[in-house]
Amino acid sequence: MWNLPDTGGVWTVEPSTMTTESTESSDTDLVARARAGDMSAFGALVRRYQSSALRLAAAISGSVDDAADIAQEAFVKAHRSLPKLSDPATVKAWMLRIVANEAKNNVRGRNRRRRRDETYGSWVVAAPEDPEAAALDVDDARRLSAALGVLKVDDRQILAYRYFAGLSEIETASAAGVPVGTVKSRTARALAKLRAELEQP
């Protein structure tokens, strides 16, 4: 192997050897350690919320292929902006707000070059583990994703926060920067639009 010079803190280890972080640490602890330069702590935050972030990005942008790039860019920005986070206990909502903004930027750029039905319509949805207990079969899932793509981006965003990222109403209020009452009304309105879209012949 080559004897490389000082890489200035550059990460050269393979993914499989990267440090993993106990999931028992609180968000506040992890934020404090990440702010002090502990990359494993920031990695633990990413792992903790990556599933929510990726689904949020996919639901807002419509593109599962772009979701990882969108969320990655958002987490990189979050890492740079970590010193600005005023309440470490809200890091989840704060990170997901950055993801949502990044996804909306992607939509604005993409609308000029790609039809929306080429994104939502191309989702790959896994078959249900228990078909008897599932709410959706594959065709239902396809119709639902296509209907989601017809909504305005703000409607998709509120539904994405609640049902794709799994945020509570209070967390959604924090992420969206609006009162909880507004989250309730916007969610109800977006669900009604989605239902109307699904009931179209």
- Closest distance between another protein and the C-beta of residue 3, in Å? 8
Q: Binding residue for another protein (CB under 8 A) from 32, 39, 150, 178?
A: 39
| 36 part of the interface to another protein, by CB under 8 A | no
For 14, the token pair is 């393979």
| 32 scored as a contact of another protein (CB under 8 A) | no
Q: Does 131 bind another protein (CB under 8 A)?
A: no
Pattern 52-81, binding to another protein, x per CB under 8 A?
--xx--xx----xx-xx--xx--xx--x--
Q: How far is the CB of 43 from another protein (least distance, A)?
A: 5
The residue written with tokens 């994104």 in the block is 119
Query: Rounded to whole angstroms, how far apart are CA atoms 186 and 80?
Result: 31
- Residue 184: its H or E element: helix 180-198
159 binds another protein, rule: CB under 8 A: yes
Using the Cα atoms of residue 90, residue 92, residue 98 and residue 100 in order, give the sign of their dihedral: negative
CA distance 19 to 98: 25
Q: Does 46 bind another protein (CB under 8 A)?
A: yes
State both tokens at 150: 């017809």
CA–CA gap between residue 74 and residue 22 (Å, rounded): 23
The upper half-sphere exposure of residue 41, i.e. CA atoms within 13 Å in the direction of its Cβ, equals 17
**Rounded CA separation 194/201 (Å):** 14
Smallest distance, another protein to C-beta of residue 104, A? 18
Q: How far apart are CA 70 and CA 102, in angstroms?
A: 6
CB of 179 to another protein, least distance (A): 21
128 touches another protein (CB under 8 A):
yes
188 binds another protein (CB under 8 A): no
Distance between CA 188 and CA 194 in Å, rounded? Answer: 10
User: At closest approach, how far in Å is the CB of 144 from another protein?
Assistant: 6
Binding site for another protein (CB under 8 A): 1-12, 15, 18, 39, 42-43, 46-47, 50-51, 54-55, 58-59, 64-65, 67-68, 71-72, 75-76, 79, 123-128, 134-136, 140-141, 144-145, 148, 159, 162-164, 166, 191, 194-195, 198
